[in-house]
C-alpha cells in the first residue's frame, strides 16, 4: 500500500491533483467544476468546524441525503477529523433511521432538506447521543440550537496552518486497521447489521481492483446516481474515484439522468441491473413505435452487432462484408445510442444483483460494454470483476488479485482477502457465524466456479426454493428471465414446499394500456384491468416463452398480476432494490395460496 490510511490518500491527492477537476454539480442550471485544491479548502474547513463544535476522533457521524457535493464535504471532512462515517438511505423510514443512529451512538447527523429533517426530529427523544443536526439546504435557518445549517460549519471552520497541522496529526495517528466507515446491510432477512470497514479495506480494495482492470488513463469522469448509502456506489463511485484522483459528477435528479449523461460525458458509470433493464425496455418500446423502415433498420443493425460481437470478443478480424455492414450499422444506429450516454463511455460497472447475460450481449452489440462484478458490503463491495481486456457475459468475472474465492458446503461461495471486513458493529455473535474456522467470509451466495476460474452466481442460499418433490430451485434466474420479457417489469417466484412454481408479476402500464385499447377494454380501472382474462392471456404468452427456456420442473405454472409494483416504501424491497421475500410472502399470502387451491 502507498498510504497507511485514507486520510493520507486524500491529503496527498489534494496536492498531487490540485488543479484537476474533483467534483461536478449543477449550479443554477449549468455544471460547475470544483478542483481538488478547492475540495481540500472545503473539506479542511468542514473538519475544522466539526472539531470546534466538539467532534472527537472516533465519533460516528451519519449522512441522510441524496447525492450532492455537500454529501462529499460532510463525509470527507468527518473522516479528516478522525470520525467514522455512515449513511442512511433517504427512503428509509423513521424506525430504520432510529435503529441505525441508536446502534451507532452517532454524535452528528447531516440531512439534505427539511423533509428529511422531519424524520430526525420525530425520533429526537430516542437518539440522545446526537449533539447536533446539520441541514444541507441552502438558506436554511433555525432557532433550535440542536439544528443548524451546514453553512455554519463552513463559517466556524478555517483553513489555517494550525488547522492543517491538526488534520495531518490526526492522519499520522490513524492505523490501517482503524475503522473508516460503517455501512449497514440492506436487511433482506432481518435487522440491518453494521459492517465495519477499515482504512486498509478501502485502500487495498482500490489497489487490487485497479490492478485487475489495468489501464485507467481514460477513466476521467464518473456520473454518480446510485445512492451513496449503497455500498457499491460508496466504494466504486466515491472513494475509488477520489483514490484515482479523478472526477465525480452528480446527477441533478433521476428524471434528468439522460440529460446529465450528455452534459457530463462520463467515461465510467456504476449501476445496477434495474437501470439496464429500464434502458433496454425504453429502447425497444421506442423502436416498436417508430415507422416501419426505422424498425427494420434497428433490428437489422442489431443482428449485425451480434454477429460482429462474436468476432470482437474472440479477438478475430471481421470478414470484409461484415466489417462494412458493422460500420454502416454503427453510423446509422449505434453511434446515436452511445451519444445518448455522452459518447465517451469506456464501460459500465454493474453490481448489486445478477445481470442478465442477454442484456449484456444486447448492449455490447451496440458498442456499450457492461462489466459485471460480484461481492458484498462485507467485502468492501467487489470480490470478483470482469475487466475490459478479459470478460465473459453471464459471469461475474474472476477473483481480484490477492482475493481467494472457494466453494464451501452447499456450493456457498466463501471469500478471503484484504477486502473482507473486520466485524459487525457491536455484534460478535453474527461476526463469529459469518466466518469459517480458517477465516473465510461466508457470503450466503450459491455459485459455480468453472475450470478456468470464471465465477457465476446462482442465488442467495436462504432464498432457494425446495419443492415438495425435493428439488432445489433458485428463484432469481427465473425472476430475471421473466423481468426481461416485454411487458413484465418485476417478478416474485414462489413454491417452497409446493409441487410446482407460481409467480406474482408486476407489468408495464404502457404495454398493458396498449393491449387494452387493442381489445376494447381500455375503460376498465387498472385494478380490474390487470385481472382481466384477455390481459392475463397476453402476459401468460410471455411466461410460456420463458418456460420454454427452462427445464419442466422450473416452469411457472400459475401467475397473478398485482396492480402495484414492489417498492421500498411498501417494504417489499430493500433500499438496494432486492426483494424482501418474507415480506412479500406474508403480504400476498392469500393470493399465493389461491394458486395452489
Domains of the chain: 6-174+215-244 (3.40.50.12780), 273-343+346-460 (3.40.50.12780), 464-594 (3.30.300.30)
Average pLDDT over residues 116-124: 96
- The CB density around residue 89, as the number of other CB atoms within 10 Å, is 22
Mean per-residue pLDDT for 108-120?
96
Q: What was the pLDDT predicted at 241?
A: 98
**pLDDT single digits (tens) 19-47:** 999 999 999 899 999 999 999 999 999 99
Provide mean pLDDT across the span 560-568: 92
**Which residues lie below 8 Å from residue 280, measured CB to CB, with a gap of 6+?**
359, 362, 363, 484
Supply the pLDDT for residue 1: 52
Structure pTM? Answer: 0.89
With 80 as the cut, is the pLDDT of residue 180 above it?
yes
pLDDT at position 305? 97
Reported as a pLDDT band with limits 50, 70 and 90, residue 189 is low
Residues 222-273 pLDDT 10s = 999 999 999 999 999 999 999 999 999 999 988 899 999 999 999 999 999 9
Say how far apart CA 5 and CA 177 lie, in whole Å. Answer: 9
**CA pair distance 40, 77, nearest whole angstrom:** 9
Q: Would the CA dihedral through 22, 25, 27, 32 be positive or negative? A: positive
Residue 369: which pLDDT band, with cuts at 50, 70 and 90? very high
pLDDT tens digits along 81-94: 999 999 999 998 88
Show the cell assigned to 347: 464501460
Distance of CA 364 to the CA centre of its chain: 21
Among 49-63, 224-238, 458-472, which stretch is predicted with the lowest mean pLDDT? 458-472
For residue 371, what are the CA distances in angstroms to 242, 271, 360, 520?
21, 10, 8, 44
C-alpha to C-alpha distances, 275 to 270, 351, 381, 437, nearest whole angstrom = 10, 11, 19, 39
pLDDT-based confidence at 186, cuts 50/70/90? confident
Q: How far apart are the first and last CA of the chain?
A: 61
pLDDT for 247 equals 98
Per-residue confidence (pLDDT) for residue 3, from 0 to 100: 87
DSSP code per residue over 459-510 = EEGGG-EE-TT--EE-HHHHHHHHHTSSSEEEEEEE-TTSSSEEEEEEE-HH
The string of pLDDT tens digits covering residues 504-526 is 999 999 889 988 999 999 889 99
Helix, strand or coil, per DSSP, at residue 560 = strand
Nearest CA-CA partner of 202 in 398, 75, 381: 381
Amino acid at each position: 500500500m502507498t498510504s497507511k490510511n485514507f486520510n493520507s490518500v486524500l491529503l496527498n491527492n489534494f496536492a498531487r491533483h490540485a488543479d484537476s477537476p474533483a467534483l461536478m454539480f449543477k449550479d443554477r442550471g449549468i455544471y460547475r467544476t470544483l478542483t481538488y485544491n478547492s475540495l481540500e479548502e472545503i473539506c479542511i474547513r468542514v473538519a475544522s468546524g466539526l472539531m470546534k463544535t466538539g467532534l472527537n476522533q472516533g465519533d460516528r457521524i451519519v449522512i441522510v441525503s441524496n447525492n450532492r457535493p455537500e454529501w462529499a464535504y460532510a463525509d470527507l471532512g468527518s473522516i479528516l477529523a478522525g470520525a467514522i462515517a455512515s449513511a442512511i438511505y433517504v427512503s428509509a423510514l423513521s424506525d430504520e433511521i432510529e435503529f441505525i443512529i441508536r446502534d451507532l451512538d452517532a454524535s452528528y447527523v447531516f440531512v439534505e432538506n427539511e423533509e428529511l429533517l422531519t424524520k430526525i426530529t420525530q425520533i429526537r427523544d430516542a437518539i440522545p447521543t446526537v449533539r447536533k443536526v446539520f441541514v444541507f439546504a441552502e438558506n436554511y435557518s433555525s432557532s433550535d440550537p440542536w439544528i443548524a445549517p451546514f453553512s455554519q460549519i463552513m463559517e466556524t471552520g478555517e483553513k489555517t496552518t494550525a488547522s492543517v497541522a491538526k488534520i495531518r496529526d490526526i492522519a499520522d495517528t490513524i492505523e490501517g486497521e482503524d475503522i473508516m466507515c460503517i455501512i449497514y446491510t440492506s436487511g433482506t432477512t432481518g435487522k440491518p447489521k453494521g459492517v465495519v470497514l477499515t482504512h486498509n479495506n478501502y485502500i487495498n480494495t482500490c489497489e487490487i481492483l485497479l490492478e485487475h482492470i489495468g489501464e485507467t488513463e481514460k477513466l476521467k469522469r464518473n456520473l454518480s446516481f446510485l445512492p451513496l448509502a449503497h455500498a457499491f456506489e460508496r466504494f466504486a463511485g466515491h472513494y475509488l474515484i477520489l483514490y484515482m484522483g479523478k472526477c465525480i459528477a452528480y446527477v441533478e435528479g433521476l428524471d434528468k439522468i439522460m440529460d446529465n449523461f450528455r452534459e457530463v460525458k462520463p467515461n465510467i458509470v456504476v449501476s445496477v441491473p434495474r437501470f439496464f433493464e429500464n434502458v433496454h425496455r425504453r429502447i425497444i418500446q421506442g423502436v416498436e413505435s417508430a415507422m416501419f423502415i426505422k424498425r427494420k433498420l434497428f433490428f437489422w443493425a442489431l443482428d449485425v452487432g451480434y454477429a460482429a460481437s462474436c468476432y470482437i470478443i474472440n479477438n478475430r478480424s471481421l470478414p470484409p462484408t461484415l466489417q462494412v455492414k458493422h460500420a454502416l450499422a454503427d453510423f446509422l444506429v449505434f453511434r446515436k445510442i452511445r451519444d445518448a450516454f455522452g459518447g465517451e463511455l469506456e464501460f459500465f460497472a454493474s453490481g448489486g444483483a445478477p445481470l442478465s447475460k442477454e442484456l449484456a450481449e444486447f448492449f455490447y452489440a451496440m458498442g456499450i460494454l457492461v462489466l459485471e462484478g460480484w461481492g458484498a458490503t462485507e467485502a468492501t463491495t467487489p470480490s470478483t470483476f470482469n475487466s475490459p481486456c478479459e470478460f465473459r457475459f453471464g459471469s461475474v468475472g474472476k477473483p481480484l488479485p490477492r482475493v481467494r474465492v472457494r466453494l464451501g458446503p452447499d456450493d456457498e461461495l466463501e471469500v478471503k482477502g484484504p477486502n473482507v471486513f473486520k466485524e459487525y458493529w457491536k455484534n460478535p455473535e453474527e461476526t463469529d457465524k459469518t466466518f469459517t474456522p480458517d477465516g473465510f467470509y461466508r457470503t450466503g451466495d450459491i455459485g459455480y466456479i468453472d475450470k478456468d476460474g470464471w465465477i457465476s452466481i446462482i442465488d442467495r442460499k436462504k432464498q432457494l426454493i425446495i419443492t415438495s418433490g425435493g428439488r432445489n430451485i433458485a428463484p432469481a434466474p427465473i425472476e430475471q428471465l421473466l423481468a426481461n420479457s416485454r411487458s413484465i417489469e418485476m417478478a416474485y417466484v414462489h413454491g417452497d414446499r409446493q409441487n410446482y412454481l407460481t409467480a406474482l408479476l408486476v407489468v408495464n402500464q404502457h404495454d398493458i394500456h396498449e393491449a387494452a385499447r387493442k381489445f376494447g377494454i381500455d375503460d376498465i380501472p387498472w385494478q380490474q384491468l390487470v385481472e382481466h382474462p384477455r390481459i392475463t392471456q397476453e402476459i401468460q404468452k410471455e411466461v410460456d416463452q420463458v418456460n420454454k427456456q427452462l427445464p419442466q420442473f422450473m416452469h411457472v405454472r400459475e401467475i397473478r398480476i398485482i396492480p402495484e409494483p414492489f417498492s421500498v416504501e411498501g417494504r417489499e424491497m430493500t433500499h438496494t432494490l432486492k426483494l424482501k421475500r418474507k415480506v412479500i410472502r406474508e403480504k400476498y399470502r392469500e393470493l399465493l395460496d389461491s394458486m395452489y387451491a
